[in-house]
Structure 1
Amino acid sequence: MLGTASQAPTRTRNHNGYLLRWDGRGFLFDPGEGTQRQMLLAGVPSSAVHRVLLSHFHGDHCLGLPGVVQRMSLDGVAHPVAAHYPASGQVFFDRLRHATPFADLAEIREEPVTGPGRLAEDPAGVLEVRRLEHPIETYGYRLVEPDGRRMLPDRLAAAGVTGPDVGRLQREGALRVGETTVRLDDVSEHRRGQRFAFVMDTRMCDGVAALADGADLLVIESTFLAEDAVLAHRYGHLTARQAARVAAQAGVRRLVLTHFSQRYPDPRAFEEEARAEFDGDLVVAADLQRVPVPPRADAPGG
């Protein structure tokens, strides 16, 4: 959590910034003003970023992009970095990308978002995108890891499959052991890929539910409390209660609330309100906090 404020930062909350680390891949979401320094404080090098994803072009979600991009060049980041953002804001991306003169050495691959659906294939999984409801064009993102197989040690032992043969069986799907053919399905069970969802700056809409559906980790804005629900709807935002209700209905395993308005001095109010709707794993985010993706579920198919 590189920053958890909304439009106005506070003494304890920087503008937005969220880094997802997944199997050696780094996804930087909504780098607001000050993100470069927050990354230093968090011990995150610029080389840890493989994709930058902007939900929209309001300043608290993108004004840190120039510093991050220039730092990548300064640090000599060797791998290409994909940049995703609403295509309608191309002029704003161009201004941010080249905000000042510098030795432009990093390879930034522009991959603007033109609509909902499947966005990109990444070694970590499939990136999906959904349209959200905000005064300007805004998108939410979702990373879906491919389904796999969970090997069952007792069945492997009973079948006589050990050592390197386990890997061969996983690659080939079947293995001859003595006079018997052991199939992968015989010694394993379905393992659903894990899912991460990022929902920022939106009033309630179909896209919110689609992104949250079955997420193991949901990072979602909760700018307002329910007492200010009229303001939330007017400005295109969610309340903590709405975010928690979505999480409960979507079967979210770990819910992370963020993007808090500076009008509320006590973050405990967000937790209290959310608890009325969601009784699962809940985090009220703080700057520089690390929130792990929940471990894989042990239940078959889970």
Structure 2
Amino acid sequence: MSARELVVLGTASQVPTRHRNHNGYLLRWDGEGLLFDPGEGTQRQMLHAGVSSHDITRICVTHFHGDHCLGLPGVIQRINLDKVPYPVAVHYPASGEAFFERLRHASAFYETAELRPEPLTGEGGALKPTGRERTPFTLEAARLSHPVDSYGYRLVEPDGRRLLPQKLRAHGISGPDVGRLQREGRVGDVTLGDVSETRRGQRAAFIMDTRLCEGVHALAEGADLLVIEATFRDADEHLAEEHGHLTAAQAARVAAQAGVRTLVLTHFSQRYPDLEGHLDEARRHFDGEIVVAADLMRIPVPGRV
């Protein structure tokens, strides 16, 4: 199992189909599990995908339309049933506080686990760490453009350093001195910068229901993995604009402009039984890897370059 992968739990939009459940996406990241937009049926999809409640360390809700949040009651109650032993942060638009409270307490259950509601306000920004991160990263949120308050998310790993064996040899650094150099940044006159190069941190972005806006481009910038809605095709672009959504072509142009490596298209309208058209439209604008998401698919975060 990849330490960094997307587990797709559902890919439909407003109306599910026989082959597509409502939304749900788990991003595994070195022991942390970010569950995005648990729509109706997410708990059952987790069972099919081999995802446990103990895999979830954060829940991120983009907005309070039903296909993105009606699975919350089941997920929350499962977390309590399984007595998850650590706090689970829940991020969501603050304007939907009443919806969150109704979903959280939709029916009677024994509360054995700790949820930490962390509502989003304003333009978003960096979110508090959980304290469970095995490797450092920042989770950020940015406001999107939809008929109700909506936020997208992105995970940003800080840049590190990659040691260069030939430069280590040239400076006579070997054995225990290599570890000392990494810890202290200097051995004698040799600095870490003398024998290494920048190792760019990885990034993953999650963008659901929105028109094109500044937040879309900010979240997508430099993403190794971009998970983005592609509800409509170009012929229905007027519907996308009217209802606050993107077309496959728009999503692909965003990915191309942002330097994305792997583009994952999802959140498909039930009006399209065949998604080849989405793929064709995206290919005209983006020449990187394109994945047309399907339920229960597992998509690895691209390896470092």
TM-score normalised by structure 1 residue count:
0.94
Mapped pair 1:291 → 2:302: no
Choose which of 136, 144, 165 in structure 2 pairs with 1:132. Answer: 144
Check the 8 A contact 1:256/1:284 in 2, yes or no: yes
Mapped pair 1:95 → 2:107: no
Q: Distance in 2 between matches of 1:24 and 1:156?
A: 32
Choose which of 19, 28, 32 in structure 1 pairs with 2:39. Answer: 32
- What is the match of residue 163 of structure 2? 151
Q: Distance in 1 between matches of 2:156 and 2:164?
A: 24
User: What one-letter code is carried by the residue in structure 1 that aligns with 2:101?
Assistant: D
Q: CA deviation at 1:164?
A: 4.0
- What is the match of residue 207 of structure 2? 199
SS at match of 2:19: coil
Q: CA deviation at 1:10?
A: 0.7
Structure 1 unaligned segments of length 5 or more: list them.
298-302
Q: Distance in 2 between matches of 1:293 and 1:115?
A: 30
Q: CA deviation at 1:67?
A: 0.7
User: What one-letter code is carried by the residue in structure 2 that aligns with 1:167?
Assistant: G
Q: Distance in 1 between matches of 2:171 and 2:291?
A: 44
Q: In the superposition, relative to structure 1, how do residues 164 and 24 fare at CA in structure 2: closer, same or farther (>3 Å)?
A: farther
Choose which of 205, 208, 224 in structure 1 pairs with 2:216. Answer: 208
Q: Distance in 2 between matches of 1:172 and 1:38?
A: 47
Q: CA deviation at 1:158?
A: 3.1
Q: Distance in 2 between matches of 1:40 and 1:167?
A: 43
Q: In the superposition, relative to structure 1, how do residues 100 and 172 fare at CA in structure 2: closer, same or farther (>3 Å)?
A: same
Mapped pair 1:279 → 2:287: yes
Q: Distance in 2 between matches of 1:29 and 1:112?
A: 15
- More divergent stretch after superposition (145-154 vs 52-61): 145-154
Q: Distance in 1 between matches of 2:179 and 2:42?
A: 42
- Cα deviation, 1:3-23, whole Å, max 9, x if unaligned, reads 000001111111000111111
- What is the match of residue 172 of structure 1? 184
SS at match of 1:255: strand
Q: Distance in 2 between matches of 1:112 and 1:43?
A: 29
Identical-pair percentage: 68
Choose which of 18, 29, 33 in structure 2 pairs with 1:22. Answer: 29
Q: Distance in 1 between matches of 2:86 and 2:51?
A: 16
User: What one-letter code is carried by the residue in structure 2 that aligns with 1:136?
Assistant: V
Q: Distance in 2 between matches of 1:163 and 1:71?
A: 49
Aligned-residue Cα RMSD (Å) equals 1.1
User: What one-letter code is carried by the residue in structure 1 that aligns with 2:102?
Assistant: R
Choose which of 24, 46, 57 in structure 2 pairs with 1:50. Answer: 57
Mapped pair 1:254 → 2:266: no
Choose which of 142, 146, 149 in structure 1 pairs with 2:154. Answer: 142
